[in-house]
Amino acid sequence: MKKVLALLLAAMMILSIIPMATAESTDSVGVFEADGYTYGEKFWSDEPVTYTIFFSDASWYPMVDTWKTEGVFEQIRKATNVTLDITSYDSNDYMSLVALDLGTDRCAYIIPKVYDESGWVDGGAILPVSDYVDKMPNFTWFYNTYNLKADVDTILRADNKFYRLPGMHQAALQDYTLMVRDDIFAAAGYDVKELEKTWTWNDLCDILIGVKKYMVENGMCEESDYIWSDLWCGQSGQGSGGYLCKLVGNSYDVASGWAVGNGLRFDFDKDQWYLSSTSENFKEFVTVMHRLVAEGILDPETFVQDDSVANDKFFTGKSVIQGFNRSQLVTWMDGLNKGLGEGNYSVYITVYPAGSNNYVAENTRLENGVCISKGALEALGEEGFIKMMRFVDWMFYSDEGYILTKWGPEGETWEYAEENGVKIKKLLPGFKCGGLGIAGSDEDVDIRLKWGYACGNYFYAHSNALRGDNLPAVVQDYDIRYAEYRDQMPLSPATVLTPEEIESTGLIQADLIANINAWTIQFITGQKDIEADWDAYVQSCEEYEAEELVKTYNDAYIRTKGE
């Protein structure tokens, strides 16, 4: 199994020339050159134009008027002569509310932040964007240069087209992990930096039992207290166990939490799909998570509570371990400084434990992406639509668009500086940014909160260099360690379903996954007994037509493989 580090280095060494492609070729995407807009060129509309766009508004950094009047949207207008007419929905309800607008005159032309468009394809409300990528030189260059065909093939539909312009990474990114109070772990006799190289989730449970014993003996908590009460699993976990079930589940080759999808995994030895949610691996996964609860370590409220409750416990020292992603570094440090006092603690970003495998949770180089409504083509006409697609190409795939939406305008919010002989981006004095992990004083302006830069709707994925151009040393160190200690999971093979299969599996999946999620949380929290209730759980999945779902995918896989 190749290590992630090897994949990173290999991707960085690719120096191939962009191949031109015919319309029939799927190995590479042809470059469209017209009106001076080619790879590396700036997009500009000679006439002012307005495009409608949806916006997924995160409650922890909500959009404010200055984003439009001074910030990211105004700067996009200045750079391109394009005004974005924004329809904003709260991130918790974003996909369901967008779905209600599809096919109506309320539907925006540009639909970003889409994770799963499968239910939208058959109705014709969104366009097959693969028909237009030859008009998108930045997309094309990235796709060809970093050999993303196999990744993009995983989102093809039965017509051999894709309907979402995905965020594309040069190399897979493992963002979510755990942050621990390593001062307390060390005081209890545990060297996390050494342990993380080979630890498992059961090892972590043993360690946390020892940490809690130390804390009880030193009056830091009671025996009845939990020392792990996490976020991104309760209200923001969407009933699935969120990020934590995703990480632990993947460690046992189980699709769960935020990554539950349809519950299926691919067995490379048997060359077929299977339902991971009723496998022996699933039983191991819920068993180790239940152990964390049963041992008095993981608070069962984790799976129902608001994120602010978990943060408060971590920031005040009631819990000693919590979920982490790189965009939250500044927020976490600010919270700890206010709750515990600067200098009164130390934390460490860990490589999270392994389970029955040594894989990191992320094996795809794709992220959520952008769909385009059919109304855009109808309203703009062919020529105007192609122009809009060039704008989309600039905004989501060009270096210029990426840097602008991530950092703001050069010279106004940031500048280039030299550090140890290396050219880096650096915020100007008076600015900070939680989204970039760049701290500052209370008086400094957060460029994400005030102006919308580093907002998750628009800057995601890209080259290793640009993706990591804001990373502080502690996060860069984490990237190096997880690449060294963990393996990359093989990419599942492309499996293309027909529209009829998409419809039938979609109907099965909705109820089946709701059932799986409910049982998963009940097993973990002890509301259901894993041994005593296991057969009833498996039977419940069969009643929701799990076998039919698996059969449909395997039939589609055989058909796809034979094409």
Can you tell me the distance from the alpha carbon of 264 to that of 551, in angstroms, rounded to the nearest whole number?
A: 11
pLDDT band, residue 37 (cuts 50/70/90): low
State the pLDDT at residue 29.
Answer: 59
State the pLDDT at residue 28.
Answer: 58
Identity of the highest mean pLDDT range in 140-154, 177-191, 497-511: 177-191
Q: At what angle do helices 399-407 and 72-80 cross, to 10 degrees?
A: 150
State the pLDDT at residue 538.
Answer: 98
For the beta carbon of residue 126, count every other beta carbon within 10 angstroms: 22
State the pLDDT at residue 188.
Answer: 98
Model confidence pLDDT, tens digit, residues 64-115: 999 999 999 999 999 999 999 999 999 988 999 999 999 999 999 999 999 8
What b/e string do you get for 64-79 counting C-beta neighbours within 10 Å, with b at 16 or more?
A: eeebbeebbbbbbbeb
Closest C-alpha to 104, from 117, 90, 123, 85: 123
CB 383 within 8 A of CB 389: no
Model confidence pLDDT, tens digit, residues 220-261: 999 999 999 999 999 888 889 999 999 999 999 999 999 999
Cα of 66 vs its chain's centroid, Å: 27
Q: Residue 26: pLDDT above 60?
A: no
Provide mean pLDDT across the span 481-504.
88
pLDDT band, residue 11 (cuts 50/70/90): very low
Can you tell me the distance from the alpha carbon of 493 to that of 154, in angstroms, rounded to the nearest whole number?
A: 7
State the pLDDT at residue 412.
Answer: 97
For the beta carbon of residue 57, count every other beta carbon within 10 angstroms: 18
Structure tokens at 347: 């934390």
Residues in the chain: 563
pLDDT band, residue 467 (cuts 50/70/90): confident
Can you tell me the distance from the alpha carbon of 72 to that of 92, in angstroms, rounded to the nearest whole number?
A: 22
Can you tell me the distance from the alpha carbon of 345 to that of 340, in angstroms, rounded to the nearest whole number?
A: 7
Q: How many helices (H) and strands (E) does the chain have?
A: 22, 14
Question: pLDDT averaged over the chain?
Answer: 90
Fold (topology level) of 4-173+365-407: D-Maltodextrin-Binding Protein; domain 2 (3.40.190)
Q: Residue 203: pLDDT above 50?
A: yes
Q: Where are the domains of the chain?
A: 4-173+365-407, 175-361+463-563
pLDDT band, residue 561 (cuts 50/70/90): confident
Region 175-361+463-563: CATH code: 3.40.190.10
4-173+365-407 and 175-361+463-563 share one CATH topology?
yes
Provide mean pLDDT across the span 252-279.
96
pTM across the whole model? 0.74
Model confidence pLDDT, tens digit, residues 385-439: 999 999 999 999 999 999 999 999 999 999 999 877 778 899 999 999 988 888 8
Can you tell me the distance from the alpha carbon of 154 to that of 366, in angstroms, rounded to the nearest whole number?
A: 10
Pairing of strands 431-432, 445-446: parallel
Structure tokens at 429: 């004095």
Q: Residue 32: pLDDT above 50?
A: no
Can you tell me the distance from the alpha carbon of 404 to that of 167, in angstroms, rounded to the nearest whole number?
A: 17
Q: Residue 17: pLDDT above 60?
A: no
Can you tell me the distance from the alpha carbon of 235 to that of 244, in angstroms, rounded to the nearest whole number?
A: 13
Can you tell me the distance from the alpha carbon of 237 to that of 257, in angstroms, rounded to the nearest whole number?
A: 7
Model confidence pLDDT, tens digit, residues 508-559: 999 999 999 999 999 999 999 999 999 999 999 999 999 999 999 999 999 9
User: 3-state SS string over 412-471?
Assistant: CCEEEEEECCEEEEEECCCEEEHHHCECCCCCCEEHHHHHCCCCCCCCCCECHHHHCCCC
Structure tokens at 49: 């134009």
Cα of 13 vs its chain's centroid, Å: 25
CB 158 within 8 A of CB 555: no
Q: Residue 39: pLDDT above 80?
A: no
Can you tell me the distance from the alpha carbon of 483 to that of 238, in angstroms, rounded to the nearest whole number?
A: 29
Q: Residue 23: pLDDT above 70?
A: no
Q: Residue 20: pLDDT above 60?
A: no
Q: What single DSSP character describes residue 236?
A: G
Q: Residue 350: pLDDT above 70?
A: yes
Structure tokens at 324: 């982490």
Q: Residue 129: pLDDT above 70?
A: yes
Q: Residue 5: pLDDT above 50?
A: no
